[in-house]
């Protein structure tokens, strides 16, 4: 194989991956001494940020040029670049693939780990989300007369949240929780209806049934999944937000979060492209909601009036 640049190995420069992922993936393809460097870095990534090249070389018991070659092998321009990329990876926090959750963790450790994992996961979703698909989804929604959001479990939460954003979407939105209701709504879709089907696995039987019903009724189906799957295949527009999988029982699901952000993107994109009058209406609603919330108007329970922004 190549002489000084075995880096040409599978996808070393793929910037959709974080540096630590790349190191881990490249590990077996590295030379022995470079593996020693990798081991030091992976063992204590946080400490490695403040290493100087000489320091890292000494710690790994190799020469400085070896460290250089290691940097090149994992897709960095040089040692400087390596340090910056490492720092950036670390800023997101380590996904639990690198630091797992244990029963001995203090509350502080725990929250740090879970936040880190969530942020890394969102970072991954950000890197892998297809902008063209988002564009297509926005366009589809702009032409819609009504939107149906469906999902079960955690994906149902995303559907509920999306439904709350109807002021931004500007057209009637529904997100029934009951499977039968979902099916009925899907069947009643027209050609200018949009159905957003949400399922992280993309395999959920019921969601597939509803999506198929909507499609048969002529609606445009947008899928929101965590990977390519039967649901994304079935959909007219497939939004895929990849996150880190749950590695053990205690790793909280991060796909919900990514899904929520994708819905945010969708809703914002749609609202931005609507008329200035629409913007004005949203602004008015937001300010009135703020004053209402503090009890200026307490005549009736107003929770159904406008639930969009947070309380």
Partner DNA sequence: TATGGTTTGTAGCGATACTACATGGAGGGA
Partner DNA sequence: TCCCTCCATGTAGTATCGCTACAAACCATA
Scanning residues 94 to 123, which ones bind a copy of itself (CB under 8 A)?
101-103, 105-108, 110-112, 114-116, 118-119, 122-123
Size of the site for a copy of itself (CB under 8 A): 94
Is residue 137 within 8 Å of 266, Cβ to Cβ? Answer: yes
Residues 178-237 that bind DNA (CB under 7 A): none
Please say which residue, 47 or 218, places its beta carbon nearer to DNA.
47
* Closer to DNA by Cβ: residue 35 or 204: 35
* # of chain residues touching DNA (CB under 7 A): 25
CA atoms of 245 and 251, how far apart (whole Å) = 9
177 binds a copy of itself (CB under 8 A): yes
Strand partners, 223: 197, 238
DSSP state string for 62-86: S-HHHHHHHHHHTT-SSHHHHHHHH
Give the integer Cα–Cα distance in Å for 235 and 216.
11
Q: Among residues 78 and 172, whose Cβ is nearest to DNA?
A: 78
Which residue from 62, 92, 148, 185 is in contact with a copy of itself, where contact means CB under 8 A? 92
CB-count exposure of residue 308 (10 Å: 0-12, 13-18, 19+): middle
Q: What angle do CA 252, 256, 257 make, to 5 degrees?
A: 90
H or E segment and range at residue 220:
strand 220-225
The single residue among 36, 69, 83, 242 that binds a copy of itself, judged by CB under 8 A, is 83
- State which residue, 5 or 280, has the beta carbon closest to DNA: 5
Binding to a copy of itself in span 196-255, by CB under 8 A: 199-201, 203-207, 226, 246, 249-250, 252-253, 255
Stretch 43-62 residues interacting with DNA (CB under 7 A): 52-54, 61-62
CA 223 to chain centre: 14
The maximal CA–CA distance of the chain, rounded, in angstroms, is 79
Residue 69 binding target from a copy of itself, DNA, none, CB below 5 to 8 Å by type:
DNA
Cβ neighbors of 112 (< 8 A, separation 6 or more) are 93
Q: How far is the CB of 62 from DNA (least distance, A)?
A: 4
Which residue from 34, 116, 123, 161 is in contact with DNA, where contact means CB under 7 A? 34
Region binding a copy of itself by CB under 8 A among candidate stretches 53-61, 62-70, 187-195, 288-296 = 288-296
Nearest distance from C-beta of residue 76 to a copy of itself, angstroms? 13
- Chain Cα centroid distance, residue 8: 29
Q: Which own/partner pairs from 278-281 qualify as long-range (CB within 8 Å, at least 24 positions apart)? A: 278/170, 281/167
Question: Does 149 sit near DNA (CB under 7 A)?
Answer: no
**Which of 15, 16, 44, 63 lies at the binding interface for DNA (CB under 7 A)?**
63
Is 53 among the residues that bind a copy of itself (CB under 8 A)?
no
């Amino acid at each position: 194989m190549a002489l000084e640049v075995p880096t040409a190995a599978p996808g070393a420069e793929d910037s959709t991956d974080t540096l630590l992922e790349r190191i881990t993936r490249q590990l077996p393809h590295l030379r022995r001494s470079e593996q020693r460097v990798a081991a030091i870095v992976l063992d204590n990534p946080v400490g490695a940020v403040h290493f100087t090249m000489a320091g890292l070389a000494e710690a790994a018991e190799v020469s400085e040029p070896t460290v250089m070659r290691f940097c090149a092998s994992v897709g960095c321009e040089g040692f400087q670049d390596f340090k910056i990329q490492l720092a950036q990876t670390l800023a997101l926090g380590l996904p639990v693939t690198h630091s797992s959750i244990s029963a001995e963790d203090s509350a502080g450790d725990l929250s740090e780990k879970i936040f880190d994992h969530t942020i890394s996961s969102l970072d991954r979703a950000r890197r892998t989300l297809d902008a063209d698909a988002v564009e297509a989804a926005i366009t589809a929604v702009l032409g819609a007369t009504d939107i149906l959001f469906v999902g079960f479990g955690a994906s149902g939460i995303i559907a509920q949240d999306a439904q709350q954003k109807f002021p931004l979407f500007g057209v009637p939105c529904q997100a029934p929780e009951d499977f039968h209701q979902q099916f009925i709504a899907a069947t009643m879709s027209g050609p200018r209806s949009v159905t957003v089907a949400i399922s992280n696995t993309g395999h959920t039987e019921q969601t597939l049934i509803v999506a198929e019903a909507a499609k048969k009724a002529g609606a445009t189906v947008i899928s929101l999944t965590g990977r390519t799957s039967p649901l994304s295949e079935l959909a007219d527009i497939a939004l895929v937000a990849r996150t880190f999988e749950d590695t053990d029982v205690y790793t909280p699901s991060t796909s919900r979060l990514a899904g929520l952000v994708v819905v945010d993107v969708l809703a914002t994109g749609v609202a931005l492209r609507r008329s200035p009058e629409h913007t004005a209406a949203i602004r008015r609603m937001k300010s009135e909601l703020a004053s209402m919330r503090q009890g200026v108007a307490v005549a009736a329970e107003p929770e159904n009036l406008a639930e969009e922004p947070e309380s």
